[in-house]
Amino acid sequence: MNTARLRTALEAVLAADPDCLDSEELEAVVRASSEVRSWLDAYEVRCARRSRALASAGHAPPPESLLGTAGRRSSKDATTVTERDRVCTANPQFETALTEGTVSAGHLDALANATRRLDDELRAEFFSHQELLVEAASTQRVDTFERQCRDLSRHLVASRQRGDVDELEAQRARSCVKRWVDKSTGMCHTHLELDPLSDAKLWTAIDRQVRTARQADGNAGTPWNRLQVDALLETVSSGPAGERVTEISVLVDLQVLVDGWQAGGICETEDGTPLPVATVRRMCCDAEVLPIVMNGEGEALDVGRSRRTVTPAQRRALRAMHRTCAHPECTVAFSACRIHHIRWWVRDHGPTDIDNLIPLCERHHHLVHEGGWGLEMAPQRVATWTRPDGTTHWSGSVIDRRPVADRRSARQSAPT
């Protein structure tokens, strides 16, 4: 960021009184403060880098010490800054974008978190997408970008060739259960590390129990975490006799199913965890696993049926296209959402067709029904959200599950 632009942004912040601003003025001053903050974050990264160089020569303490004392940072925050330095060193374009205020430190943190456990080879492959990642970060909220980075990291790990070793079997071999008691609180902890299919089966069963519990009398005000705990206990304590087989969905692009990972698409569980293509090919005939074949735009083409379940095919198709609530700024999981009719069932006599259905969390469902917000959807699931005053808040595709190469174009339309 040039000095004149930085000075203009800083002067705008110093001159503004947030308590007296209208909506447009408040948005302008928040943007200005964000530019100043990004410049300061980039400056701090440079300080950490210089401190590291001095420390390696024995002339200064490590950057974590400098940031903790002179910067008045906690140990965790100081470590975060040094991680940003690592990301910027490997990705000069991101450091430039941070200095110019087109991305935030949160975007760097998303990169650091997504690549922390990758080996050098996979990390280099991840950062080979630097130009596309910068483009995505400059147009996406941090939580959306974080999910994209996490998806890319997982797909790189899953697509690595393992010879004759089945990736899923290797993951099952690493599965484990740990249990301990916190002596200070007396709370008991159980940690499960599961392969993607085992995890999907467990949480499908838990989510089903949660939905049942939410509809039971007396549970209307029960906190969500309490419902989940009760559902988990009910799931693991239920007897095997007469149990319904747990159904999970595996989402796969047709091209990936045919050509493998080189096609650059999707092969994952419904919550976004990648699966080996060979494993999915082998399991496509399993009644417990429903293959959902998708096109390049992320739209469900063919939804498998299971003779042992009663889950509506429409919900499967919606789950295939949406990981979360369809509001662009919401990260509530699909399993916690209601299915909303764009053209209302009662008021508009809207049909229960895929093109008229969309997942919304409780809060955004309330905004549409009681809050005066408008929601329309055009072909290719391009949704438009309008505020109660009639102005457009956001317009763009609500499909948040698509091939990695195409995800940079998803949800890039910013609120107006």
pLDDT tens figures, 40-99: 999 999 999 999 999 998 888 889 999 999 999 899 899 999 999 999 999 999 999 999
pLDDT at 343 over 80: yes
State how far Cα 336 lies from the chain centre: 15
State how far Cα 238 lies from the chain centre: 32
pLDDT at 345 over 70: no
Task: For tokens 């974080």, name the residue.
Answer: 146
Do the beta carbons of residue 305 and residue 286 sit within 8 Å? no
140 phi/psi in degrees, rounded to 5: -115, 150
Nearest to 404 by CA among 80, 156, 171: 156
Q: Is the pTM of this model over 0.75?
A: no
Task: For tokens 């004759």, name the residue.
Answer: 164
> 408 in the Ramachandran plot: left (φ > 0), alpha (ψ -120 to 50) or beta?
alpha
Return the C-alpha torsion angle 356, 357, 358, 363, nearest 10.
100
Higher per-residue confidence, 344 vs 137? 137
Do the beta carbons of residue 341 and residue 357 sit within 8 Å? yes
Higher per-residue confidence, 62 vs 223? 62
Over residues 19-33, mean pLDDT: 94
Higher per-residue confidence, 411 vs 63? 63
Over residues 238-257, mean pLDDT: 60
136 phi/psi in degrees, rounded to 5: -65, -45
- The whole-chain average pLDDT of the chain stands at 80
413 phi/psi in degrees, rounded to 5: -70, 125
